Every structure is written in C-alpha cells, then in structure tokens.
C-alpha cells in the first residue's frame, strides 16, 4: 500500500516539473517558423455605403509599432484591390465600385512588416443598378404629347426626394425648365380642381415644347442607408405612346387585329392615332387618360352603341357605363376641349361621373340602326368538321326562334 502511494506522489511531482516550463517555448515548439508576435489591432472599424463607393473608418491605433494601415476590398467575383495608408489616417473612401457586395478587410502593419489580426466587414455600394435606386419614384408616371403641348401625370412625392426638374426646349428654341414641387407631384395645387377640394396629380405644361429636342427629368434625393446625396439617372421623355390594356381591348373589339388601328400584335398604330378625330366608347374604363394619345381628337361618343330598354337605362349598376377615376377623367376631356375644342356626345345615363361639363351634350336614347337581315327561316346550319358520335353542338341555336 505504501509503495502505491510513493508511485502516485512521484507521478504528480513529474507533472508539476513539466508544467513549470516556459509557455513561450511550448508555442515556439509547435508554431511553424518559431514564435509569432502580433501588433495591436485597430478598433471601432466601421463600413458605410455611399454612391458608387464604400466609406471605411476606424480609430487611431494605440500600438506605437504600427506605421501603416492596410485596407483591402474584394467583390463578388473575387477580384481584390488594396491600399496602404499612414497610421494617422482614420478613414478611406473606396471609390469607383460596381454593383456588387464587397468584403473589406482592415489590418494594422508595423515598420517591420508584421501584421495585426485582421477585421472584415461586408457592404454593398449604391449604384444605378441597385434595386433601391431602380425603384425610386420617377415622379412622372406617364405623359402625353398633344401636338406641341405636353401633359404630365405625376406619381407622387416620395420620402427622400430633394428636388426634381424637367428641362425642355420651347417651340421658339428657348431652353426652359419646370421645377416640380411636392404639392405639384401630389396634385395638391391643381387650380382646375379647386372646386372639388380633391387632389389631381395632372398638369398641362404651360409652354409649347419642341418634342424633337430632348426633354429630360433630373432628380436628386436620399435613400436610407446611403451616406451621399444621389443624383438619379436622367430620364428622357420620348414621344412614344402608351395605352392601357383596357383601352386596347376596346380598340380590338371595334377594329380588330391587323386593322387600320391595330397591328397583328394588338399595338396601336401611330399613323392611325395621329389622324383620329372621332372615337366611340361603349365600355367601362378606369379613366380617360388614353384619349390624350390622340392629338387631333375632336369628338367622343359615349354609349352610342348600347341599346337599352327603359328599365336598363335606369339600372345604375348594370345598365350604365362609367369611369372609375372621376377627376383624372375630367382632366383628360377638359384638356382635350381646351386644346382641340373636344365635344362629348353622351347617350342615356352613361358616364355620369363626368358631371355636366359645358362641352358634354346629352343625346338621350340612341336610335337603333335600320339593319337589313337575312331571312334564315328556311336555312339549315351544319358544322364542319362534323360532331363526334354521341355529341351534338346544336348549330341551329345560332339562328333565332330555334
């Protein structure tokens, strides 16, 4: 028993003697190339996003051995660049960056070239391709050229917008501009609609413009997370027409595809739109914005081809056509009246949201045309190809009284 105790004491003593060795010697033994001594790290490393740039900042290093600060940045494609800065510099602008996420690494370097442990942060600069920039309000949602006049429809003033200016050339060759205000973009200072006490974000530019010269929209503003004031990409207002899908469907039903009005893909032909002086509308619409695409439009017939019974005329929910947006529709037809002398011929009780404007003539009940019909009483109707066995498509039902 005593012998076992002596062995235990001897073993503990040997462990104690081993533990008294220099820990630095131990690290030197197991570290390739011998002992490594790191210089002090920089502290409070921060990385912020700007316009086409990243802004790195840090506190001045405390370790007197530090002579340089190394900043290295790497994009999504693993392409890297770096810069060595004097120790007294505490920030650096990484400029000329593309639309990519970047890793930025900060390292302190001594006069002997020894580096500190590095710190890495990640950020993405704001560029023209950034989705936040792409989705920022364009202020002008749509526009229409009425010969030498320009109609603007505003999208509203987005938080962060600082200013917006539309630059254009007047018909006399003089350069001019329109400063778009917050009230203007929100439709709060449209004099035409003061009587309604409601907003209407539309405007007829007071000057005649030369649409063969560039009409450019400039915007500046800020977005959350960006340190810089952003000069957004310049947007050009081109003379291209834009029609709503609802209105194109009306034209399709009226004229058909590959017609004088529409091409085979259902797009409105410019040569037709440039010459149209009269239109008939017999369907519900969101608004009458599309009418502003016709610079020579002088007459519009509303509900002329809807033939209703007296009960149908009185049925507001099913028998009366209308527009969804009252003020935009009034603005569109009023502008056309001002520029072209437009007259609206309204039948039955359709489109009552337009009210009783001076240039609207209420025509009452339309007279059904005197159509000449074929006598089909002795006609037989067949189907080609023939119905399959066991199925009857009843083509005779296409004829009245069957």
Domain ranges across the chain: 46-123, 136-237, 245-362
pLDDT at 37: 58
Cβ(84)–Cβ(76) under 8 Å? no
Q: Using 50, 70 and 90 to split pLDDT, how confident is the model at 23?
A: very low
Cβ-based burial of 388 (10 A; exposed 0-12, middle 13-18, buried ≥19) = exposed
224-244 in b/e form (b: 16+ CB < 10 A) is eebebebebeeeebeeebebe
Pairing of the two strands 278-281 and 299-302: parallel
pLDDT at 199: 67
261-292 in b/e form (b: 16+ CB < 10 A) is bbeeeeebeeebbeebeebebbeebebbbbbb
Q: For residue range 251-282, what is the model confidence (pLDDT) as tens digits?
A: 999 899 999 999 999 999 999 999 999 999 99
Q: Is the peptide bond before 255 cis (omega within 30 degrees of 0)?
A: no
Q: Using 50, 70 and 90 to split pLDDT, how confident is the model at 399?
A: confident
Least Cα distance to 101 among 130, 128, 132, 81 occurs for 130
pLDDT at 36: 55
pLDDT at 27: 44
CATH architecture of 136-237: Sandwich (2.60)
Separation CA 251–CA 262 (nearest Å): 8
Domain 46-123 has CATH 3.90.420.10: no
Judged against a pLDDT cut of 70, whether residue 96 lies above it is answered with yes
Q: For residue range 270-318, what is the model confidence (pLDDT) as tens digits?
A: 999 999 999 999 999 999 999 999 999 999 999 999 888 878 787 777 7
Cβ(169)–Cβ(213) under 8 Å? yes
User: Do 136-237 and 46-123 fall under one CATH topology?
Assistant: yes
């Amino acid at each position: 028993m005593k012998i076992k105790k002596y062995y235990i004491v001897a073993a503990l003593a040997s462990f104690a003697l081993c533990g008294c060795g220099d820990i630095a010697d131990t690290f030197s033994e197991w570290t390739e190339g011998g002992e490594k001594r790191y210089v002090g790290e920089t502290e409070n490393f921060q990385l912020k996003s700007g316009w086409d740039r990243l802004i790195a900042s840090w506190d001045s290093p405390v370790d007197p051995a530090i002579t340089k600060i190394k900043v290295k940045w790497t994009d999504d494609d693993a392409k890297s660049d770096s810069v060595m800065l004097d120790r007294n510099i505490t920030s650096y602008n990484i400029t000329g960056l593309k639309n990519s996420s970047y890793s930025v690494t900060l390292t302190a370097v001594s006069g002997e070239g020894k580096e500190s442990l590095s710190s890495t942060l990640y950020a993405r600069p704001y560029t023209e391709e950034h989705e936040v920039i792409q989705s920022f309000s364009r202020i002008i949602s749509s526009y229409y050229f009425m010969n030498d006049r320009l109609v603007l429809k505003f999208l509203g003033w987005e938080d962060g917008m600082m200013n917006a200016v539309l630059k254009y050339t007047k018909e006399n060759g003089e350069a001019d501009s329109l400063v778009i205000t917050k009230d203007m973009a929100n439709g709060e200072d449209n004099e035409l609609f003061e009587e309604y006490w409601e907003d209407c974000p539309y405007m007829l530019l007071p000057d005649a413009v030369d649409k063969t010269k560039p009409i450019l929209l400039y915007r500046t503003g800020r977005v959350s997370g960006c340190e810089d004031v952003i000069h957004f990409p310049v947007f050009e207002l081109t003379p291209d027409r834009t029609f709503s899908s609802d209105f194109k469907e009306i034209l399709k039903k009226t004229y058909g595809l590959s017609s004088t009005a529409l091409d085979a893909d259902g797009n409105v032909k410019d040569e037709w739109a440039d010459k149209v002086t009269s239109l008939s509308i017999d369907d519900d619409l969101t608004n009458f914005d599309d009418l502003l695409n016709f610079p020579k439009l002088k007459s519009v017939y509303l509900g002329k081809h809807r033939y209703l019974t007296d009960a149908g005329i009185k049925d507001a929910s099913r028998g009366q056509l209308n527009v969804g947006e009252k003020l935009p529709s009034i603005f569109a037809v009023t502008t056309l009246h001002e520029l072209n002398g437009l007259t609206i011929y309204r039948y039955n009780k359709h489109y009552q949201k337009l009210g009783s404007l001076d240039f609207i003539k209420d025509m009452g009940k339309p007279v059904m045309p005197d159509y000449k019909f074929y006598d089909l009483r002795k006609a037989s109707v067949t189907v080609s190809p023939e119905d399959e066995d066991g199925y009857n498509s009843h083509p005779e039902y296409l004829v009245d009284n069957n």
